[in-house]
Amino acid sequence: MSNSDLSGIISAVTTPVTETFDIDGGRLAQHCERLLNSGCSFVSTFGTTGEGASLSSAQKIPAMRALKAAGAEMSRHIPSVMTPTADEAGAMIAAAAELGCRGVLVLPPFYYDFASDDGIVAFIDEAMRRAGRPDIDILLYNIPRFSRFTYTPELIDMLVAKFGSAIVGLKDSTGVAENGKMLAQRYPDLSIFTGDDRVMPSLVQAGGAGMIGGMPNVFSADLRKIFEAPGAAETEDLRKRAGQRIVTVDGNGSMLALKATLAAVYDDPSWARAVPPLVGLNAAQTATVLSEFAETGFVPTKAA
């Protein structure tokens, strides 16, 4: 497989923002580097965990360029493309290709819930045309809870027929283990990832590629160990802890819980800040998250 390197733990990176809700490039670069040094194969910026739908391409593209200028290894970056407009999607794809990113993670265009499969194919084709049809790999981002569309096998088949080997993988964020395993078995030439820590072990054992998700922002080392030994007795306790932790995050604002935890890890309250319409957790909510994480053995050791 030409995309055989696309496996492992990929962190869907949280986005630090300034008081004016602009991307904080310095903190972002530091965080991405830390993740790549602590078990992540790649990082994926500006996805759901990264509040990508709340940030414009005009904000994200300069941040991507700043990452490269700061020395980031862009071949280990897979930025998300989250926009209902083909023009902005094309701008993101063009920038990712120009900067040498490993690929892009493409969300279906949201809002018009009566769009057809033909329309989704046309959207990605138009985005690629506006990008100049660069030679860049595409991973499909399947998260119907937010996008309101599903990358079904029928749609995936259409996209592979249209774009050929440019389609290299898919992130399945349905949280349904059987769906991920079905995709891994149906598409052995694609890198199939889950967004759910609890699904990852069985998916890997079924031939899947690993996970792209928010939890590696904090727990990348543990998740790497699970990826490397998904069914082994020595990772059973880690798998149990991972399940407990995702319940805590899902019950406390998702990426907001991760941001609050990173504020403790970095000893930096600005990390807890979110982009409207989201609002960072308050002190009581943060205490709940940290207390529940502590029950799984997590201590927010201060990061440099």
Binding residues: 49, 212
CA–CA distance, 223 with 228 (Å, rounded to integer): 9
Residues tagged in the binding site annotation for pyruvate: 49, 212
Joined tokens for residue 91 = 């701008």
Q: Which of 60, 151, 171, 259 is catalytic?
A: 171
Q: Closest by alpha carbon to 176, among 151, 198, 208, 204? A: 198
List 170's β-bridge partners, or say none.
Answer: 140, 192
Whether residue 89 contacts residue 132, with contact meaning beta carbons closer than 8 Å, is answered with: no
CA angle 152-156-162, nearest 5°?
A: 150
List 167's β-bridge partners, or say none.
Answer: 138
Active site residue 141: yes
CA–CA distance, 201 with 132 (Å, rounded to integer): 38
Distances (CA, A) of 41 to 34, 116, 181: 12, 34, 21
Active site residue 240: no
Q: Which of 141, 151, 187, 266 is catalytic?
A: 141
Report the catalytic residues.
Answer: 141, 171
